[in-house]
Amino acid sequence: MPTVLLTLGRLPKALDLARGFSQIGWRVVVAEPFARHLCGSSRAVAKSIRVPAPVDGKQAYLSALAQVVRDEAVELVLPVSEETMHVAHLPPLLPAGVRVLTMPPDVLLPLHHKGGFVAFARAHGLDVPDSAPLGDPGAQAIVAAGRVVVKPVHGCSGRGVMLLPQGAALPSAEVPCLVQSFVAGAEFSTCSLAHQGRVLATTVYRGIQMSGSVAVAFERVAHPAIEDWVRRFAAAANWSGFIAFDLIVDEAGRPWGLECNPRTTSGLHFFESADLARAVVDPDAPPPCHRPETRLQQFWSCLTETQLSLFRGGPFRRNLRQLLTTRDVCWQARDPMPLLAMPWTTWPIIRMAAQKRVPFGEVATLDVGWYA
């Protein structure tokens, strides 16, 4: 039985991947810095192994992963979220023949950098907003011309993002940031699996309920113009693995790429898990199909937001109706514990969010992110 190593277990995306690989007959091992995590309660996971967090030492993290690969006879290493940027450095430490589903660091990291993504997209004829590094004279010209978004070049989950009016004073450049012209329109996200520049499948979706700046309920939509934008980007980058984007579609229906996430996103939940696993193993297999549901939610987070909307004067009735009629991303009758035990398995993140007084999603990957 072949073995796949997932390099994070705390997020629902990892659970989908674990279930998909288990369904096609693979043994699933999870490496996770937290002692307990969402995937640890799943029947799909054969073994969970605790490893140090990248924030405590990148080399120690990579060495621990390499040891897991050797000890568990892993054939495929599959990064899940923000740890992808670290895992990209893993191949030189591994035995010959072990596959790591990510691009090399010299391709991955420039696109993870928000300014690097803009430069690459523009060089290949793809629409992106005018952008300049904070502190650069070009940034002053952009804010003088209209509203701007200021965001850390390595941020995620909306951390540190500011929207400023035309002519506003820009903040000091203590943290490397990008100043980007504001594009009015509807915001969408994508999640794609590609192989050697060929997109195997794409989900286009939008958030329908938010917790802070992070979507906790989602709706899949059809948008050919966005799918074409993604195909052009993947071909230009000769991309293999997961890749995702945030985009704005303006009033004319024109997509503008805002940033690249060279990893999975919540759009992964809309794929049939087993189909996705087969496509990862064999890119020539039939492309992954979408699940029949066009709306999905993270139940516990949506429950919290629904309760808060009752006391804060928000759309309580709409939230309650959505809560009661939308399928949870984690729920499976044959594997119920991940959803039922989630308040316990995710307690380390819940506690951290409470201490920092920010939404769950904004702290869920702080210890595994790439910030340098």
What are the DSSP calls for 104-172, one per residue?
-HHHHHHHHSHHHHHHHHHHTT-----EEETTSHHHHHHHHHS-EEEEETT--TTTT-EEE-TTPPPPP
Residue 71 lies inside a defined structural domain of this protein? no
Token pair belonging to 146? 């209209």
Residue 158 lies inside a defined structural domain of this protein? yes
Residue 166 lies inside a defined structural domain of this protein? yes
pLDDT given for residue 122 in this prediction: 98
Residue 69 lies inside a defined structural domain of this protein? no
Residue 33 lies inside a defined structural domain of this protein? no
| Phi, psi of 108, rounded to the nearest 5 degrees | -65, -50
pLDDT given for residue 178 in this prediction: 95
pLDDT given for residue 363 in this prediction: 82
pLDDT, tens only, 56-108: 999 999 999 999 999 999 999 999 999 999 999 999 999 999 999 999 999 99
Residue 142 lies inside a defined structural domain of this protein? yes
Token pair belonging to 3? 């073995």
For residue 329, give the 3-state DSSP assignment.
Answer: coil
Token pair belonging to 60? 């120690």
pLDDT given for residue 289 in this prediction: 97
Residue 177 lies inside a defined structural domain of this protein? yes
**Contact in structure between 129 and 254 (CB atoms under 8 Å):** no
pLDDT given for residue 16 in this prediction: 98
Find the domain containing 140 and state its range. 131-181
pLDDT given for residue 356 in this prediction: 79
* pLDDT < 70 stretches in the chain: 157-158, 372
Using left for φ > 0, alpha for ψ between -120 and 50, and beta otherwise, residue 108 falls in: alpha
Residue 359 lies inside a defined structural domain of this protein? no
Number of domains in the chain: 1
pLDDT given for residue 357 in this prediction: 78
pLDDT, tens only, 275-330: 999 999 999 999 999 999 999 999 999 998 899 888 887 789 899 999 999 999 99
pLDDT given for residue 157 in this prediction: 67
**What span, in angstroms and rounded, lies between the C-alpha atoms of 54 and 62?**
8
Using left for φ > 0, alpha for ψ between -120 and 50, and beta otherwise, residue 313 falls in: left
pTM of the full structure: 0.94
